[in-house]
Chain A
Amino acid sequence: MDIELMINSFPKLLSAAVITLKLLSVSLIIGLFIGLFFAILRLNKNIFINRFAYGYSYIFRGTPLLVQIFIIYFGLGQIEYLRSTVLWVVLKEPYWCAIIAFALNTGAYTSEILRSAFQTIKPGIIEAGKSLGISNKVIFYKIQIPIAIRQSLPAYGNEIILMMKGTSLASTVTIMDLTGVAKYIISTTFKPIEVFIVAGGIYLFMTFIIHNVIKFLEKKYSFN
């Protein structure tokens, strides 16, 4: 055990963890909107819209995140047309490519979580709203969405933790996040166990915090 290396690498890994958290929070926020959008499409009765939303979630959940990042980072740059548009400003940055991939990926999972939450709302609740003379829009925003959020909290908490682990793939497109820096230190010092303990410890600590925040929210928004 090289304790000195562990102490020395801790500040470096900690500052890399900030990048991991940035990647995570930005992609989660974008992914939540994407997920909500596609969950609403899934509830649509039009078969084409429905199939489209299902296809999106099927493709993003059925392929590895690594493939998605590589398609966006290496693949899209190949299209000449894209290089001449404004989009290229975003797509040439590995940071934004990673975020786009993460957001689309978590959006697919989030849409499934929200869809099942919407579908488990008892029809009686919506009927009660209607009989009180509340408009459909207000029923959706003030009744269905709050209930769906409460229903989906446990599953969404898992998704946040999975996504946090997913951000480690950003290191494959040259971003120095927690895993990227850990790999760099391992490959220069050849002390994998020491670095794994420190980096893994930081990841576990973040998992622990997320887990407890979700638990707290679940309690706060529980029905009784």
Chain B
Amino acid sequence: MELLAFGDTGWGDELFYATLMTIAVSITAMLIGFLFALIFTPLKLSKNKFLNFIANSYTTIIRGVPELLVIYLFFFGGTGAVMFVASIFGYNEYIEINAFITGAFAIGIISGAYSTEVFRGAIQSIDKGQFEAANVLGLNKFGKFFKIILPQTLRLAIPNLSNVWQITLKDTSLISVTGLVEIMRQSYIAAGSTRDPLFFYSFAAVLYLLLTFISMKLINRLEVKYSRGY
């Protein structure tokens, strides 16, 4: 138990901050994922074949390739890509991207592919009559989307989005390979310096279980809120 003490003697405070880091990366990645879903869901539902193809390639590639490979692509390729863009604007110095941004972006793109599929499914399962009724009521495009379609989509999407959240949360453990100090990386460091890997990795497992358990409870509340009237 003294291994978990706070302060200089134990790893308690380090692991606490690492847990906060995991939560921060997960939330950032999830939000980046929503951004991607916002772009790609309309493309998926579009009648244009070319736009469809782009969106389908995105979701198929990301969901068919291991997360670790995507992270390596961003870890080794991210700096090069940013420097390439910067060089177009005439900036040629070395740029180092922060591990948090690289990690959140890599996981965000992955989580975005899953979110896109969830939103597509949810919008497709909304009754056509709802769209027609909104038209008949003379709502403009924004009113139709925000007042009629979005609330119903959310109700259908939340249970599946909670799965996406669980996947995202667990995927953040893979960012440890890039050196970002989250739960996994911190446990690796602690295990290395105390030579007690069994304890620290088991503790990491408990922390992840705790995070998934708490987030499930919170999401259940959201679910109740959005299924009012059903």
A and B held together in a complex: yes
When the two chains form their complex, are residues A67 and B184 in contact, meaning their CB atoms are under 8 A apart? yes
Instruction: Let me know if B124 is at the binding interface, CB within 8 A.
Output: no
When the two chains form their complex, are residues A165 and B184 in contact, meaning their CB atoms are under 8 A apart? no
When the two chains form their complex, are residues B170 and A64 in contact, meaning their CB atoms are under 8 A apart? yes
When the two chains form their complex, are residues B173 and A64 in contact, meaning their CB atoms are under 8 A apart? yes
CA distance A190 to B177 in the complex (A): 17
* Chain A contacts for B171, CB-based, 8 A: 64
* Chain A contacts for B76, CB-based, 8 A: 186-187, 190, 192
Q: Name which of B8-16, B131-139, B195-203, B221-229 contacts chain A.
A: B195-203
Instruction: Let me know if A172 is at the binding interface, CB within 8 A.
Output: yes
Contact with A along B50-67 (1 / 0, CB 8 A): 000000000011001111
Q: Closest A residue to B78 by CB, please name it.
A: A192
When the two chains form their complex, are residues B77 and A196 in contact, meaning their CB atoms are under 8 A apart? yes
Q: Mostly helix, strand, loop or mixed at chain A's interface? A: helix
* Chain B contacts for A65, CB-based, 8 A: 170
Instruction: Let me know if A63 is at the binding interface, CB within 8 A.
Output: yes
Instruction: Let me know if B101 is at the binding interface, CB within 8 A.
Output: no
Contacts A74-B201, A75-B197, A75-B201 given; indicate if A165 touches B66 (C-beta within 8 A). Answer: yes
Instruction: Let me know if B209 is at the binding interface, CB within 8 A.
Output: yes
Residue of B66, B173, B196 near A67 (CB, 8 A) is: B173
Instruction: Let me know if A62 is at the binding interface, CB within 8 A.
Output: yes
* Chain A contacts for B126, CB-based, 8 A: none
Instruction: Let me know if B36 is at the binding interface, CB within 8 A.
Output: no
When the two chains form their complex, are residues A186 and B72 in contact, meaning their CB atoms are under 8 A apart? yes
Q: Closest A residue to B216 by CB, please name it.
A: A62
> Which of B68, B80, B187, B202 has its CB near the most chain A CB atoms (within 10 A)?
B68
* Chain B contacts for A78, CB-based, 8 A: 195-198
* Chain A contacts for B6, CB-based, 8 A: none
Instruction: Let me know if A203 is at the binding interface, CB within 8 A.
Output: yes
Q: Closest B residue to A68 by CB, please name it.
A: B205
* Chain A contacts for B197, CB-based, 8 A: 70-71, 74-75, 77-78
Q: Shortest CB–CB separation between residue B223 and chain A, in angstroms?
A: 19
* Chain B contacts for A59, CB-based, 8 A: 205, 209
Residue of A62, A167, A207 near B64 (CB, 8 A) is: A207
Instruction: Let me know if A21 is at the binding interface, CB within 8 A.
Output: no
Instruction: Let me know if B73 is at the binding interface, CB within 8 A.
Output: yes
For chain A residues 21-70, which have a beta carbon within 8 Å of chain B? 58-59, 62-68, 70
Instruction: Let me know if B148 is at the binding interface, CB within 8 A.
Output: no
When the two chains form their complex, are residues A204 and B61 in contact, meaning their CB atoms are under 8 A apart? yes
Number of chain A residues whose Cβ lies closer than 8 Å to a Cβ of chain B:
41
* Chain B contacts for A208, CB-based, 8 A: 64
Instruction: Let me know if B176 is at the binding interface, CB within 8 A.
Output: yes
CA distance A66 to B66 in the complex (A): 13
Residue of A67, A79, A167, A171 near B204 (CB, 8 A) is: A67
Instruction: Let me know if B213 is at the binding interface, CB within 8 A.
Output: yes
Q: Shortest CB–CB separation between residue A211 and chain B, in angstroms?
A: 9
Q: Closest A residue to B192 by CB, please name it.
A: A74
* Chain B contacts for A164, CB-based, 8 A: 66
Contacts A70-B197, A204-B60 given; indicate if A168 touches B66 (C-beta within 8 A). Answer: yes
* Chain A contacts for B68, CB-based, 8 A: 168-169, 171-172, 179
When the two chains form their complex, are residues B208 and A79 in contact, meaning their CB atoms are under 8 A apart? no
CA distance A64 to B202 in the complex (A): 12
Instruction: Let me know if B212 is at the binding interface, CB within 8 A.
Output: yes
CA distance A79 to B202 in the complex (A): 14
* Chain A contacts for B213, CB-based, 8 A: 62
Q: Shortest CB–CB separation between residue B208 and chain A, in angstroms?
A: 5
For chain B residues 181-198, which have a beta carbon within 8 Å of chain A? 184, 187-188, 191, 195-198
A-B contact pairs, 15 of them (CB 8 A): A62-B212, A63-B205, A67-B201, A74-B198, A76-B198, A172-B68, A179-B72, A186-B72, A190-B76, A190-B80, A192-B73, A193-B77, A200-B65, A203-B65, A203-B69
Q: Which residues of A are in contact with B by a Cβ distance under 8 Å?
A: 58-59, 62-68, 70-71, 74-79, 161, 164-169, 171-172, 179, 182-183, 186-187, 190, 192-193, 196, 199-200, 203-204, 207-208
9 A-B pairs closest in CB distance? A168-B66, A75-B198, A192-B77, A64-B173, A74-B197, A207-B64, A192-B76, A64-B170, A165-B66
